[in-house]
Amino acid sequence: MLRYIILWLFIMTMIKLTITFYDDLQQQSIDSTSLALPFDDDDLNKDKKQDSFNLTMNESQYVNATATNRTVIEYYREYVQRKNQEQFMRNKHLFSLTTTRYILLVQVHTRVVYLKKFIEMLKDVQAINQTLLIFSHDFIDAEINVLVTNIKFVPVIQIFYPFSQQLYPDEFPGLDPNDCPRDIAKHRALSSRCKNAPYPDKYGHYREVSIVQIKHHWWWKLNYVFNSIQVLQNRSDLLVLLLEEDFYLSPDALFFLKKMENEKERICPECLIYTLGNLEKSGRQFNNIGSKVSIAYWHARYNLGMTITYSFWCSIVKHAEAFCNVDDYNWDWSLVYLAQKHFNYPRVIWSTSARVIHLGSCGIHHKKTCSNQSDIARWDETKKFYETNQQYLFPKKPLTIHAKYEAKRPLKQINGGWSDVRDRQLSQVSFDLYQRQHFASFHSVPFHRPSITTLRSMVRTTSTCSAQQSNLPRLPVPTLADTARKYLKTVAPLLNNDEFNETKKIVEEFQHESKPLQELLLKRADTEENWLSQWWLDKVYLEWRSNLPIFYNPALLLPRQSYRDFDGQIQFAAHVIQGILQYRSLIDSNQIPVDRFGSDPLCMDQYRKVLGICRIPAKSIDRLHLYNKTGHRHVAVFHRNNIYRLPVYDDQGNKLSAADIYSSLKKLADSKGSDEKQTLIGHLTADERQLWAPIHEQLSLVPENKNFFDTINDSLFVLCLDENYQSSSGTAIKKDTQTLIGLNFLHGGGTKYNTANRWFDKTLQVIVAPDGYSGVNYEHSLAEGGIITALVDYVLDHCKTTQPLVSTNKPSLLNKCQVVIPKDVEQSISESEKRVNKFIENCDLTVYKYPEFGKEFAKQNKLSIDGMIQVALQVAYFRMHGKCGATYESGSLRRYHLGRTETIRSCTLEAQQFARAMSEQHNETGSNTKYELFLKAMQAQRQYTTDAINAKGIDRHLLGLRLIAAENNLPKPALYNHISYKRAMHYILSTSQVGAKHDCVMIYGPAVDDGYGCCYNPRNDSINYMVTTFKINNGGTNPIEFSNHFNSSLTDIRSLIEVRCWYMDDVQDNPQDDHRLKDIDVPTLCDRTGVQVWHFEPEKTFANNECPSLAKLKQDRGYTYEDEVKVQPSMEKYEEKLKMFFAEHIHTDEEIRLVLDGSGFFDVRDCDDKWMRIHVFPGDLIILPAGMYHRFIPDSKNFIHVRRFFLGEPVWTPVNRPDGDTHPSRQDYVKNLKHHN
């Protein structure tokens, strides 16, 4: 307690000293309007004592802040927030909303000497009073404020970078004590567990706060100026000149800038950028080139005195994510990266004679031996230089081109320094914060600036989010040898012998042909945060030109609710909306629990890419309308093909209640009879992309349609209130209900039903029907199915806790949106309707719940339910079509940063052999052999799954090599044209497990005409699944018939697992035969004998790779000694030992055997003294109770390798029957068994 009292007294003393300092300063001969406080004129009489904190602290004190000045830092954070919100303009009488176009944006640090000279210099610049001067500070300083408040000749606004090192001196974004030192080796960083240890930059260095702050500040200030300063809103004519406090402007700098702008159309109409400076310190001689300009493709060398136009800024922010993620701490080189990778190099027109000169030499890139005094001397020299060449300033004759450079300077390498995930996310925060505000202002939507608490939570969220993100490894590139080896293995089931032998030669060539491509791919992996993610988005999704529904947009069928009328429909819809709003709050506040695979954290990036997103059609590649935390305040409601805007937040940003939302939706009930169906529009989003794009463009050009598209694009999600699919037409649809509803959610059933009541471009559509059914349809570009089911599980849990709603009788907030269709577009829309209906009619579906077993059965038998389902699918297809086909199963790569999916190729040689053995044409194979083949198929499936989710699959690697070849205009290897590749990529079975807590199933279409789509959700005691096919050119596919084969395959596999045990006859001949009388399952065996049967992955039973569950079993049961035995004909006295093993006997301790290889029979007596036989295989562990009569013998293969476990020193003394009948262990066993039964 005494410590806190002393600390409090110390703080109070510091405050008192500060106040005294302020009073002393106030008595000096300083005019009140230039008082050295960070305050505007009107603030000088408010809270002077509190605001004078800044006078006592210099930069070094802030950087080394301790708990004693924490109060000061807290105040300064609030101060910065308040000042940025107020946007106070000095000398406002000089500012014009209509004529002020030039913005001088000056980035200021702590170089007061420079700033003083800079302000003096500005007085000599002609027309400076017609500009707006904005100082953007990253440090609050009294002396700087004295200089700024004394400016009288130009309108001035001060803004403050809110995430500066001064405001966060000992935590991110400043220097966190746990940050990795810049030059620490990665292996040492990992062992020390410093922050961002897995992510050094390309040169092996870690974050430097003073360096990264420059790019952060540059990015933040431009986002703020273009999108947040109120007096500049809706101004697309702005020209922002980027300056620093050590820049010198010639007297005619603004004159010359205006001259370049006025003459641009004559000399360089394609130029987007004007630059007034060059890299020279002294300027050029003006005598013959004072009125000349040069033209080039923009590069970092043209960054001095550079202007940013509104159109160029739009080009930059379109690729904001790339700017925020490129590993370069320089803003200008990051722009060069964008110019090279994401948009065409912009042209720049620059003054051949420098009108802006960089005089300072004490910046971040200069030597530490620099001298401010020598720099100040250069200010005077430069002023004299311009005075001497005054006759060449303000040129009157037209501009002429001095030089025109046609070469595009390539980005040879990035500079690093920007690998910390926290920095990348913080820069995204700056973008999200102010881009959303700009939209709100432009569209007259209320926008509420975040409070200081919200701002600070953004920083903390960035830090917290990156805590797990920064530990995620980057996606590795597999080796060519690995991919080649696995490729041969995966295509083997698809080829005959001749084709396979030919493929081996092609694959050998592929390894040589792909070496240069592999090098390029490795370089891309070094420079990209995820070498695949942008390609995956662009090439797989946004460049897709066919239809979205069926092919790309999955649907999710939810459990049926209890309501059966329209009122119940909109009540449930209101509860769903409220649940999604709550889930959004969890996402935005970073409270979604981190998903894990075992103990490994998974990438959470996709959770932020479900709400508020919309896909916009374009000719060759679609674009995405992205999410912003502070926007998306309404839901787009579709009903009877009409579109409505439904606000779900009030003017203060608070979520509306479910009752308020319900009351607004009731307006639809009141108008239901009179509200005619809208002209069909929604179905256009189900058309082919290249056909929808021109129609979208034509409709978007109609001014009256702006509200219509804004309502959809900027909505949080789309709510589709459907009519009853089963009764909306006079013709009955002959489908079972689940299948019927599934088709409705997948594609809407055609324009006669609900297809026009959809917007398939929206990432999330929630569909609510009047008969208790509901579902989701989602655009797949940015998120996988598991992310959607997580949201749905949360919302359904929320809905379970709700009560019936009562209308609040408030005025409805629902506003109908009208769409105007030009005459020349009507025909295109009509043709689209016909195409879409024909396309939808081609899809067939069945939805089924397999009732016989689920996850629990697999768990009891120590098997993977996913593996069982995948193997059953192979059997089903083989039984129906007599062959195997390439199979796609989605495997998650979310262990890696920005990871999406890899293909699990479930059609293995082992699965093919098992499917053949299980087919009716090959039913002579015995049960034991089938079971052994089943285990091998399961093992192959498990191994490929493990490889895939650890980025060791083949498909993404092969895709990357093909794309890197195309990107660099290199020939692709011959493999890509080979029959093996074409067959491997023709996915006959397109499958995925999408698990959900609730009774759901996801639905999507096949990948090829003659294929099947199959998605499944294993439940505890059942399996929900669906099967889709096409009707045209389908190669004999049929969803119902395939479903029947799938069901029987699952049942047969269950029987195969359960018939590892059976009652046996009296052995009269060879004991190594089956001797099967009546099959029983393992649980019955265990119940009637007390035997325990376990199964472990065979490869994890060896001592150097023992699985944790086996180790735990040994520990729990006290097994302290173990050995291994191989029973085989080569062992000494083999026949004699077989007779000994097969003699009926008991042991005084329990007998434990783990099968490592081979197979054999354990025979045990049940409670009625009948023999039961257990067939054991690799991975099986059997525990026989002490005192139980049993015997053992290998099966017909004559080989078994087992590990024996003992309780202490091994005791292997058999007591044969009848001697064992009176043994205490036998009597205890019988007593316990009778008691149990």
Binding region for (R)-carnitine? 888, 890, 901
CA distance 336 to 346: 10
Residue 789 identity (one-letter amino acid): T
Long-range contacts of 281-285 (CB under 8 A, 24+ apart): 281/357, 281/358, 281/359, 281/378, 282/357, 282/382, 282/385, 283/250, 283/353, 283/354, 283/357, 283/382, 283/385, 283/386, 284/352, 284/353, 284/354, 285/353, 285/389
Residue 1098 three-state SS? helix
Distances (CA, A) of 808 to 575, 656, 662, 751, 803: 15, 12, 9, 35, 15
CA angle 815, 828, 710 (to 5 degrees): 25
- CA torsion 299-304-305-306 (nearest 10°) is 20
- Could you tell me the two tokens for 680? 């069909």
Annotated binding residues, written as ranges, equal 107-111, 138, 213-217, 246, 284, 358, 855, 859-866, 888, 890, 892, 901, 942, 993, 1145, 1147, 1151, 1190
CA distance 566 to 669: 7
The whole-angstrom distance between residue 1100's C-alpha and the CA centroid of its chain comes to 32
Annotated binding residues for Mn(2+), written as ranges, equal 246, 358
State the CB neighbour count (10 A cutoff) for residue 739: 21
The DSSP H or E segment spanning 404 is strand 400-404
Nearest by Cα to 745 from 719, 726, 766? 766
Q: Terminus-to-terminus CA distance in the chain, angstroms?
A: 67
Residues whose CB is less than 8 angstroms from the CB of residue 870 and which lie 6 or more positions away in sequence, other chains included: 887, 889, 904, 906, 911, 941, 991
- Residues 1021 and 856: beta-carbon distance below 8 Å: yes
Residue 335 three-state SS? helix
Residues, the chain:
1237
Residues whose CB is less than 8 angstroms from the CB of residue 292 and which lie 6 or more positions away in sequence, other chains included: 352, 353, 399, 400, 401, 402
Burial bucket for residue 1198 (CB in 10 Å: 0-12, 13-18, 19+): middle
Annotated binding residues for CoA, written as ranges, equal 855, 859-866, 892, 942, 993
Residues whose CB is less than 8 angstroms from the CB of residue 161 and which lie 6 or more positions away in sequence, other chains included: 80, 136, 137, 138, 213, 216, 217, 220, 221
Annotated binding residues for Fe(2+), written as ranges, equal 1145, 1147, 1151, 1190
State the CB neighbour count (10 A cutoff) for residue 188: 12
CA angle 19, 21, 23 (to 5 degrees): 70
Task: Give backbone dihedrals phi and psi of 160, rounded to 5 degrees, phi first.
Answer: -130, 125
Q: What is the largest CA-CA distance in the chain?
A: 125
Catalytic residues: 780
Residue 846 identity (one-letter amino acid): T
Nearest by Cα to 1016 from 997, 1030, 1002, 1005? 1002
- Residues 635 and 719: beta-carbon distance below 8 Å: yes
- Could you tell me the two tokens for 1082? 């393992």
Distances (CA, A) of 716 to 7, 581, 582, 616, 762: 49, 9, 12, 15, 9
Nearest by Cα to 131 from 240, 264, 226? 240
Annotated binding residues for substrate, written as ranges, equal 107-111, 138, 213-217, 284
Q: Bridge partners of 1193?
A: 1161
CA distance 25 to 931: 91
Place of tokens 């995820």: 530
